[in-house]
Amino acid sequence: MADWTGVAGRRVVITGATNGIGLAGAKALAARGAQLTIVARSQARAAGAAAQITAAGAGARVDTLIADLASQASIRRLAAEIQDRYPRLDVLVNNAGAINSSRQLTEDGIEMTWAVNHLAPFLLTTLLLERLRQSAPARVITTASDAHKGAHIPFDDLNAERSYRNFGFARYGETKLANILFTAELARRLAGTGVTANCFHPGFVATGFNRNNGPLMNVAMTIARPFARSVEKGAETLVWLVDSPQVASESGGYFVDKKRATPTDTAQDVEAARRLWEISEKQTQAVGVPS
Ligand SMILES: NC(=O)c1ccc[n+]([C@@H]2O[C@H](COP(=O)([O-])OP(=O)(O)OC[C@H]3O[C@@H](n4cnc5c(N)ncnc54)[C@H](OP(=O)(O)O)[C@@H]3O)[C@@H](O)[C@H]2O)c1
């Protein structure tokens, strides 16, 4: 396909579409005629989401792929399956993410929040880059957050052995900073290929976010809920970044409410972005590294 006239008829792979911002975004994209593939870690949740998305898309077919984004082996299988199934990949949306109030390690020996929020988008995107390039114009969109404000990448403590604090919020902020740095470096590396990379902050949205951290956090999220926006509103910038011809030549951007925004100075540190990329390459080759 040549010029970008919208998402209708285009293959979109989206993670984290079983709930919250991803599910609302997937429904809106299905309604616009996208050919959707959702990635989920549970077959039952995938089927439930697909039924809702199909209904929103007036019967649109939704493909489901199963992968646990905490596992690098699972991400590798997922990337292979995507490449087997789809000769074209027009949009990859790295939306899945979570906060964990206590530190856990993945099967790869990586701290869980870092693995799911940063390394999973990094690994999935880099494994699919050739397919995206062949499909140009193509787009990579990552759900970041204003929670990056005040965060720094702990280059001397990448697995957060010493720096896990504030019920996981500090770590979460680091991963969201990593999303922005990853997007900037990806855009730099993809310049001139027709593949763009952008990320966004959805606002504070009433989702399943932080509902996995016990009764205290559940109560806190319930109290905060009246101040949160709807999932539809939270997904608006995601949908716009996927669909709109207006952003065809935007790359490396951080967007809030469908406008280009300026992230923190740390998030604009070109050297940190380059360093993070190189470290992420090493971390995604490492399997079974002890903590
Ligand atoms: N909510 C907010 O206010 C807010 C603000 C800024 C940024 N964000 C970002 O928005 C994105 C979406 O979050 P949300 O707020 O919509 O939360 P959510 O309702 O909890 O949805 C998170 C999604 O990620 C999936 N996921 C989590 N861990 C996974 C794993 N290991 N493998 C595969 N899928 C996994 C979940 O799948 P399951 O159904 O299997 O759990 C779910 O579909 C995240 O990146 C988050 O950091 C949210």
Per-residue model confidence as pLDDT tens digits over 70-102: 999 999 999 999 999 999 999 999 999 999 999
Rounded to the nearest angstrom, the distance between the alpha carbon of 2 and the centre of ligand 1 is: 32
| Residue 51 is assigned to a structural domain of this protein | yes
* Residue 31 confidence (pLDDT): 96
| Residue 291 is assigned to a structural domain of this protein | no
Residue 127 CB burial class (10 angstroms; 0-12, 13-18, ≥19): middle
The protein residue whose alpha carbon is closest to atom 23 in ligand 1 is 16
From 177-186, 209-218, 238-247, 280-289, the region with the lowest mean pLDDT: 280-289
Q: Are 87 and 75 in contact (CB under 8 A)?
A: no
Main-chain phi, psi angles of 128, to 5 degrees? -100, 5
Confidence band for 289, pLDDT divided at 50, 70 and 90: very low
- Alpha helices for the chain (secondary structure H): 20-31, 43-56, 72-85, 112-113, 120-134, 169-190, 214-224, 231-234, 236-243, 270-285
| Residue 151 is assigned to a structural domain of this protein | yes
What is the strand order of the sheet 253-256 is part of?
Answer: 62-66, 35-40, 11-15, 91-94, 138-143, 195-201, 253-256, 259-261
> Does residue 206's CB lie within 6 angstroms of at least one atom of ligand 1?
no
Report the alpha-carbon distance of residue 280 to residue 153 in Å, rounded: 12
> Does residue 24's CB lie within 6 angstroms of at least one atom of ligand 1?
no
What pLDDT, in 10s, does the model give residues 49-62? 999 999 998 888 89
The protein residue whose alpha carbon is closest to atom 16 in ligand 1 is 20
> Does residue 202's CB lie within 6 angstroms of at least one atom of ligand 1?
yes
Structural domain harbouring 161? 11-285
Residue % of the chain over a pLDDT of 70: 97
Number of domains in the chain: 1
| Residue 6 is assigned to a structural domain of this protein | no
* Residue 214 confidence (pLDDT): 93
| Residue 1 is assigned to a structural domain of this protein | no
- Buried b / exposed e along 7-16 (16+ C-beta atoms within 10 A): beebbbbbbb
- Active-site option among 86, 164, 172, 254: 172
Question: Domain of 113: which CATH number?
Answer: 3.40.50.720
**CA max distance for the chain:** 51
> Does residue 171's CB lie within 6 angstroms of at least one atom of ligand 1?
no
| Residue 4 is assigned to a structural domain of this protein | no
Q: Are 239 and 29 in contact (CB under 8 A)?
A: yes
Based on the residue annotation, tell me whether 164 is a catalytic residue of this protein: no
Rounded to the nearest angstrom, the distance between the alpha carbon of 117 and the centre of ligand 1 is: 9
What pLDDT, in 10s, does the model give residues 108-162? 999 999 999 999 999 999 999 999 999 999 999 999 999 999 999 999 999 999 9
* Residue 39 confidence (pLDDT): 98
What pLDDT, in 10s, does the model give residues 233-278? 999 999 999 999 999 999 999 999 999 999 999 999 999 999 999 9
Residues with Cβ < 8 Å from 206, sequence gap 6 or more? Answer: 225, 228, 229, 230, 231, 234
> Does residue 208's CB lie within 6 angstroms of at least one atom of ligand 1?
yes
Instruction: Quote the pTM value.
Output: 0.97
Q: Are 142 and 121 in contact (CB under 8 A)?
A: yes
Q: Which of 14, 95, 101, 146 to mutate to test the pocket of ligand 1 (most atoms within 8 A of CB)?
A: 95
| Residue 136 is assigned to a structural domain of this protein | yes
> Does residue 20's CB lie within 6 angstroms of at least one atom of ligand 1?
yes
Report the alpha-carbon distance of residue 279 to residue 276 in Å, rounded: 5
* Residue 273 confidence (pLDDT): 98
| Residue 2 is assigned to a structural domain of this protein | no
Rounded to the nearest angstrom, the distance between the alpha carbon of 38 and the centre of ligand 1 is: 13
Q: Are 147 and 117 in contact (CB under 8 A)?
A: no
Confidence band for 201, pLDDT divided at 50, 70 and 90: very high
Ligand 1 atom with least separation from CA of 99: 47
* Residue 2 confidence (pLDDT): 57
* Residue 60 confidence (pLDDT): 84
